[in-house]
Structures are given as structure tokens and as C-alpha cells.
Amino acid sequence: MQVIFSLLLVLAAVVLVAWILKRINLPQHAAGNLIKVQATVAVGQRERIVLVEVNDTWLVVGVAPGQVRTLHSMAKAELPASQVNMDNSANGKFQAWLKQMMEKRNAS
């Protein structure tokens, strides 16, 4: 009985650590990474809009469960770097910029 209890305790610890690591969602920084997440905005419970930098291109990507779609693509120089911070004040600017770009896209 003691062995079974110890085994269950170890398994619970493994599950707990995995859950904590998933919740923390640490970015992976490596010297060879070509793709960088610059900003992210939650637009629903499980839906997000993500600004991704790939070489000299920024992609605005919509992410939902089981689905990833490119919403917009632009050269890196088109958006000032001051608007691409991960703090809360920058997310509001990103949202305003995204809304403006979506309105332009829908008007075309």
C-alpha cells in the first residue's frame, strides 16, 4: 500500500510540474531562432492574435484551437518598435493598430 501511495504521489508531482510549466509558457530563446513572437492579444477565451517576426517580415496571425491563419503581412519597418512591447500599454496600441488594419482590409 505504501509503494502504491508513493507512486501516485510521484505521478501527481509530475503532472503538477507539467501543468505549471504550461501555465508559465516561457518563451524559448535560442541563438538560431528565426521566428520571434513580438506581441499577443487575447480576443476570446481560446482565440488570440499574435504578431510574429520572421526575418524582416511581421505577420499578424489569428490563432484558435486547431486553426492558425495569417491575417496580415508587412515589412518590419512599417510599424515603429515602440508599439511592439509586451507590456499592457503596448497591447492597447497594438489593438488599435490591428483594428485600423482590419478596417482597411475590409474596405478594399
Kindly report, residue by residue over 9-53, the tens digit of the pLDDT: 999 999 999 888 877 866 655 555 678 888 888 888 889 999 888
The pLDDT-based confidence of 90 (bands split at 50, 70, 90) is low
Instruction: Tell me the torsion sign for CA atoms 36, 42, 48, 51.
Output: negative
Q: Are 95 and 41 in contact (CB under 8 A)?
A: yes
41 is written with which cell numbers? 492579444
DSSP assignment letter at 76: G
pLDDT (mean) for 91-104: 78
Euclidean distance between CA atoms 16 and 43, whole angstroms: 28
